[in-house]
Amino acid sequence: MSSQWGKEQMSQRLVRYRELRPCLNAFVDTYTPGSDQKENFTIIGAGVAEHPDQHVHINEAHGFNIGGARQPPACLNSQHSHTTEEVFVVHSGTWAFRWGDQSQDGEAILKMGDCISIPVNVFRGFENVGEDQGFLYAVLGGSDAGNVKWAPDVFDKAQDYGLVLLENGSLIDTTKGVTAPEGVAAMPRTSEDEVKAHRVMTLPEMLECVCTAQEQQLTQGSDFMSQSTGLTESPIIGAANAAEGIAAGKLNWSHGFNVRRWDIAIQGQTVSYSRQEEEVIFIHRGQLAFCWQDQEQDHELLMEPGDVLTVPKGLTHRFQNTSAEDVTAYVTVGGDSPNAPRQ
């Protein structure tokens, strides 16, 4: 009998941080000085990268996309907007998030473990303002996250450095002799009317879109996960859900997915369970063992900080802290109202 979820098959659903493959020219601004050192990652799903060279680690529709951005100090991601929610968890570094087409509407500073959910139709950008390299873990709503809408000055700056965004949403690198396909024109510069059609958010409104690491631990987790040993679950994104017995997170509007934080004490572990929805685990701190059984054989994969695992639907599994420190992980579950896990 063949094995469906043996260790080899499951390893293909684990993306290790040390094996992430970046794209250095994923977007139209990535040759512009000040933005030319950023690394973009598409971990699960097609994401929103504009360049065909972008490597997709797991090309499987989840109803949401998982990505990442790694930037050295003073490296900037230019002002842009999305048509689905964009969520970031700060894995490392200190980051300034700014909104408005010229960064004029406000700024929020986020540090390790902080989470921000930026609504659709809002211009935003971000910069690593810390002293060390930083990494952002990202979740974008929808299996199709759409295209990026850039602020007008992004086009003005990019045209001097050879990257051209086409009207079909793809990117060409003219420094490598690439030309646009016949019949495909360059994307028009974002107009002032388009800029005015975007939402303007006040500072208090944007701060309500931030859930700091300290705030994350103020809300009780689900009844089901409370049966675990040494686990504290904290809802961040998602409405209250009676099926799971979980309270609303601070960021409780519809995203099409939920995000929870797990803090697992030394030797702590979850109960064994399965889900009907997509479940993605991101390790923020410590080492966590993913344990499951296939063909009556026990298996284990050890996950380290920065690693991302997508769990197959319906697979009974558990997580166990195997490190000499507490573990913090962020869990993304598909849907606005997930079903209760099954034991």
| 343 in a structural domain | no
Check residue 126 and give its pLDDT: 97
Are 286 and 327 spatial neighbours (Cβ–Cβ below 8 Å)?
yes
Its pTM stands at 0.94
> Could you list the residue range(s) of the whole structural domain that residue 171 is in?
18-211
Are 341 and 274 spatial neighbours (Cβ–Cβ below 8 Å)?
yes
Residues 157, 111 share a domain: yes
Residues 271, 135 share a domain: no
Are 328 and 213 spatial neighbours (Cβ–Cβ below 8 Å)?
no
Number of domains in the chain: 2
| 95 in a structural domain | yes
Check residue 33 and give its pLDDT: 86
Question: Which residues are CB-contacts of 149 (< 8 A; sequence separation ≥ 6)?
Answer: 80, 81, 82, 83, 190, 194
| 173 in a structural domain | yes
Q: Determine how many CB atoms are found less than 10 A away from the CB of residue 245.
A: 15
HSE-up (13 A, CA, CB side) for residue 268: 21
The mean pLDDT of 128-154, rounded to a whole number, is 93
Check residue 50 and give its pLDDT: 62
| 275 in a structural domain | yes
| 312 in a structural domain | yes
Residues 159, 31 share a domain: yes
Residues 245, 139 share a domain: no
Query: Of the residues 211, 226, 241, which one is the last residue of a structural domain?
Result: 211
In this structure, the strands spanning 115-118 and 106-110 are unpaired
Are 45 and 15 spatial neighbours (Cβ–Cβ below 8 Å)?
no
With a cut of 80, say whether residue 47 has pLDDT above it. Answer: no
**Closest to 215 in 3D by CA, of 110, 306, 120, 308:** 110
| 6 in a structural domain | no
User: What would the pLDDT profile of 179-189 be if each residue is shown by its tens digit?
Assistant: 888 888 988 99
Residues 253, 160 share a domain: no
Amino acid letter, residue 323: S
CA distance 99 to 119: 11
Question: Which residues are CB-contacts of 222 (< 8 A; sequence separation ≥ 6)?
Answer: 233, 235, 241, 244, 245, 246
Check residue 51 and give its pLDDT: 65
What confidence tier does 2 reach under pLDDT thresholds 50, 70, 90?
A: very low
Strand partners, 259: 237, 332
Query: Of the residues 195, 211, 227, which one is the last residue of a structural domain?
Result: 211
Residues 206, 70 share a domain: yes
| 339 in a structural domain | no
